[in-house]
Each structure stands twice: as C-alpha cells, then as structure tokens.
Amino acid sequence: MEANYVPVYVMLPLDVISTDNQLEKPDELRTQLKSLKSAKVDGVMLDVWWGIVENEGPQMYDWSAYRQLFQIINEEGLALQAIMSFHQCWGNAGDVIYIPIPKWVREIGKSDPDIFYTNHKGARNEECLSLGVDNQPLFLGRTAIQMYRDYMKSFRESMEDFIDAGLIKDIEVGLGPAGEMRYPSYPETQGWAYPGIGEFQCYDKYLQEDFNAAVAEAGHPEWELPGEDAGEYNDTPESTKFFNSNGTYLIEEGKFFLTWYSNKLIIHADQILDEANQVFLGCKVKLAAKVAGIHWWYFHPSHAAELTAGYYNLTDRDGYRPIARMLSRHYAVFNFTCVEMRDSEQPEEAKSGPEELVQQVLSAGWREGIQVACENALSRYDKNAYNQILKNARPNGVNKHGPPKLRIFAMTYLRLSNDLLKENNFSLFKIFVKKMHADLDYLPNSDKYFAPIEPMARSKPEIPIDEILEATTPEEPYPFDSETDMPVRVDVGVGGGGGGNLFTAIFSSLGKIKSIFFK
C-alpha cells in the first residue's frame, strides 16, 4: 500500500515575505505550519521572488528573510518545494500583493521596452522578461538566462545547508508569467476576462527579428506575424479570421507561425532548465516546471486560448508531449494545474474541457517516462474538488499489492489561508490528505512510497527540435476511472459552516459564473 501514497504540499501565502524583504508574522506562520503538520501534510511550496532578493542591484542578493523562513519550516518538520520566481506577482488569479521584477531590471526596460512581452498593438507586459532576450546581453553585460543562472547559483550557495539536510525536495524553475511555461497571453492587467481567447505575445523587436529570420530561411519572407486577424483578448474564436473554423491556423503560413511560436517556448524552457541542472548538479533535489491548465476553448477546433499561450495543441497535434520530451532530458517533473475542475462546472459557451485536458497532459508525461505532479488552479474546500483531485492522482485507483498502474509524483494544494484553517474546511482537508496518503499514516521517508530522489545527474544531450516534434503525433490518453476509489465522504457536520457547503453549492451551478474560471 505504501506505493500508493501521494505526498501533499500546501502553497504558502504569496506575501509571507514582504516586499521589503522581511518575514511577515513569524509566530502566526509557525502556528499555521503546526496546523498543517497536524493534518499530516508532507510539506509546503514557496515562491522565492527574484524581485525581492535581487531588487537592490545586479548580483546584490539578500537571502536573510528566506533563511529565517526555511529554518521555521525545517523546525516544524515539513519538506519544501522552492519556486525560482522570475516573474511579477500581480495580474493573475489570487494575487494579493504587488511584487514586481527587480527595479534595476525595470529601469533597463524604460530605455528598452522591448525586453518585455508585447502584443500586436504594442502594449507591453512587465510580468516577466520576453524570451526574445534570453540570449541578449542587455542587462549590464548579462543575458536574461545568465541572470536566472546567477540567481539560482546564489540560492544554492546560500541554502546549501538546507539542501544537504534534505529540507528542499524540488526546485521548480519559473519559465514565464505566474511561474508557468507560457506566454502572458491572458493578462487581467490589460483587460482580459474569462473566457477570452487571449492574444499572441511576440511583437517585441527581438522576437520579430527572430521570426523574420525564420521565414526568410524557410523561403517565405512575405509571411508576417498575425495581426488584427487574430483578434483581441476577449474575443471568441469564431469572431476572428485566424481561429475560426476555416481559419489561418489551418493553412501553411499559420502552421509555420504556430510551430515557431511554440518551439521558441520549448527552447526557452530547455535552456533555463539546462542551466538549473548545472547549478544543482549533485544535489538531492528534483527539478520541476509548471505548465498552465488552459482549459477554455479546448472543445473548439482551434484550441485558441492554448495557441495564444504557446501550446500548439489540436485534435490532430499533441502540444504537450513535446514539452514532456524536452523535460525528460533534465529528469524534470511535469507540474500541471486545474486538476480539481470538472467539465460540468464550466459555462457551456466557453467550450471548456478541464477533465480531458488533464487526462491528455498527464498521459503525455507518463508516455515520456517522466514524473508528473499536480496543483489545483483555484482554492476549493469541497468534496467534489477533492474527489476530482484524488481521481487524477491515481487514475486507475489503488493497488493493495504494489504500485498503482498510474500515479502522480506529488500534489500541491493552493493555498494556506485563514479560510482553509476554518474548522469545517480544515476537517474536510484532513480527510483529503488521508485519502491522498491511501489511508496510511504519514510517511516521513519518501523512499518508502516512491523512487528515491537521487543526487542530480547531468542533463542528457540536447534533443534536436525535429525529434521533439515527433512527439506531436497524437495518441489516445490512458484511460481514467470515472470516479476515485478512495473518495472523501462528508459526514454530518463536516464541510459546512466554514465554507464547504457554500463552495459545493457554488460549484454545482457554475454555468452561471464566468469571471473566476480563467486559470
């Protein structure tokens, strides 16, 4: 039964470290961590903000507040997933604090705004740096990738004692907005609202130059980046020339653009993960990367919202298995979101398919032989969400005599809050954790329930992009059971009063609610 045990982590609040680099309310936090420990939670996840640590100047790192926080986590007997957060906190679901990228980097952006992602109307997005500057020495002699590498190197050097002690289990490397491997195609700060298709973000001069060179090499210098024909943030696919049922995305020019656009994202992630691998070489940690669960318009032929985010996924083209193949060279964990959502909870007009999307993506990771982890996209406290997560965690149920046929590597719950800790909500959460643990007691040694985390080996040789793209050939996903065989059941008095019943009621009629379901 131990092989069925799935560890549960809980995301810490976004503002646990203040914008002036101070640990906020350490005594209150310690009390909350003790509550998590009482629920048999395995660990916590934490954003390690670039915009806080290196804010004062290039390579002027201040890790003092994070060291204080890590010490508390360690003393409370919890493990840690650390996110290298190279993005801004603000403008995404649940953002409660404004943490921009380092001010000295933003100063460079004032004289060269093309370091930021840009839409076809020229609107800049300062959430993170454009992948177009990955290899441009624009940052006082360093490239963007060199900045990310130096930050991770300083983290390793400053936290080596915690790494050696086994506190840190994995390093999730931020690869875009919200830490996700995607383009910032649906920014609330620019007026996007669910279920808008979003906009392509490749109009900074560096990406435009790259595209022009690519079409020239392909013998089609006349081809251009999509413009107004691709619509605006809140359009529907059928209202655009690019995404409609007979749209540009189906012809040679559109296919070339979408291949270029999605390949740039894969190459971006591959380069940064290669640097991360070298930085943490020999450490007993796993690398991880997060991919966004963009479930709206999944049932439209164009998959428009996925395409603008950089996931070139269609009925006849798998957009996620190439990502998994790239991750396999770094032995990295594929972390995916929206595992708590059901199709029936989504408004019909959004043509949303979170269940099918999760099934496709998890299957892609498993087929490439890598470990897959999950997060919920929105805070939920009800049994319906917990049971959906449990089903996705072990899609074919528990095996009482050995490892289950399929299982995720870990589950990270969003997020630690006063709402979660309300009596009835927390009672239900404890049951959920127990079921994720296959009804077993807390197991402190991960070697007991899963493959041991070995010292990080060097990444395998770079996989040619043509070989990566061979993985676009679609295959049927692995079959998933319709329901979990270890459900959370609500007894009288559990799950009500603290928000559980309220959330169950809300999520049973989500066809009337559109605005909150965008991640």
Q: pLDDT tens per residue, the chain (519 residues)?
A: 999 999 999 999 999 999 999 999 999 999 999 999 999 999 999 999 999 999 999 999 999 999 999 999 999 999 999 999 999 998 776 667 999 999 999 999 999 999 999 999 999 999 999 999 999 999 999 999 999 999 999 999 999 999 999 999 999 999 999 999 999 999 999 999 999 999 999 999 999 999 999 999 999 999 999 999 999 999 999 999 999 999 999 999 999 999 999 999 999 999 999 999 999 999 999 999 999 999 999 999 999 999 999 999 999 999 999 999 999 999 999 999 999 999 999 999 999 999 999 999 999 999 999 999 999 999 999 999 999 999 999 999 999 999 999 999 999 999 999 999 999 999 999 999 999 999 999 999 888 888 889 999 999 999 999 999 999 999 999 999 999 999 999 764 444 433 444 444 344 334 333 333 333
Q: Tokens for 384?
A: 């319906």
CATH of the domain at 65: 3.20.20.80
Q: Is 263 exposed, middle or buried (0-12, 13-18, 19+ CB in 10 A)?
A: middle
Interatomic CA distance for residues 252 and 6, integer angstroms:
44
- pLDDT at position 93: 66
pLDDT of residue 153: 98
Helix (H) or strand (E) holding 127: strand 124-129
216 in a known ligand binding site = no
State the Cα–Cα distance between residues 358 and 408, nearest whole angstrom: 12
Q: Phi and psi dihedrals of 27, rounded to 5?
A: -70, -45
Q: Is the distance from CB of 309 to CB of 475 less than 8 angstroms?
A: no
Q: Confirm whether 517 is domain-assigned.
A: no
Report if pTM > 0.85. Answer: yes
CA 50 – CA 48 distance, rounded (Å): 7
Any domain includes 96: yes
Q: How far apart are CA 284 and CA 356, in angstroms?
A: 34
* 194-215: b (≥16 Cβ within 10 Å) or e: bbbbbbbbbbbebbbeebeebb
Residue 337 annotated as binding? yes
Longest Cα–Cα distance in the chain: 69
Looking at residue 337, its pLDDT comes to: 96
Three-class secondary structure of residue 290 per DSSP: strand
**Does the annotation list 246 as a binding residue?**
no
User: Looking at the domain assignment, is residue 225 inside a domain?
Assistant: no
**DSSP conformation letters of 3-59:** GG---EEEEPPTTSB-TTS-B--HHHHHHHHHHHHHTT--EEEEEEEHHHHT-SSTT
393 is in an annotated binding site: no
156 is in an annotated binding site: no
Q: How far is CA 244 from the centre of its chain?
A: 28
Distance CA 133, CA 327 (A): 22
Domain-embedded: residue 224: no
Any binding-site annotation on 95? yes
Give me the numbers of helices (H) and strands (E) for the chain, helices first please: 15, 10
Residue 445 maps to a domain: yes
The answer to whether 376 is a known ligand-binding residue is yes
Residue 169 DSSP label: E
**Coil/strand/helix, residue 105:** helix
Q: Could you list the residue range(s) of the whole structural domain that residue 408 is in?
A: 2-102+126-190+262-472
Q: Is 19 annotated as a binding residue?
A: no
Q: What is the pLDDT of residue 495?
A: 43
User: What pLDDT is attached to residue 447?
Assistant: 84
* C-alpha–C-alpha distance, residues 165 and 153, integer Å: 18
The pLDDT, as a whole number, for residue 94 is 67
- Give the single-character DSSP code of 113: G
The catalytic residues are 180, 375
Q: What's the domain count of the chain?
A: 1
Q: Is 21 inside a domain boundary? A: yes
Q: Looking up tokens 């740096």, which residue turns up? A: 129
The backbone torsions φ and ψ at residue 405, rounded to the nearest 5 degrees and listed phi first, read -55, -45
Phi, then psi, of 85 in degrees rounded to 5: -95, 90
Q: Is residue 514 in some structural domain?
A: no
C-alpha dist (Å) from residue 83 to 8, 94, 178, 182: 16, 17, 11, 16
User: Has residue 362 been placed in a domain?
Assistant: yes
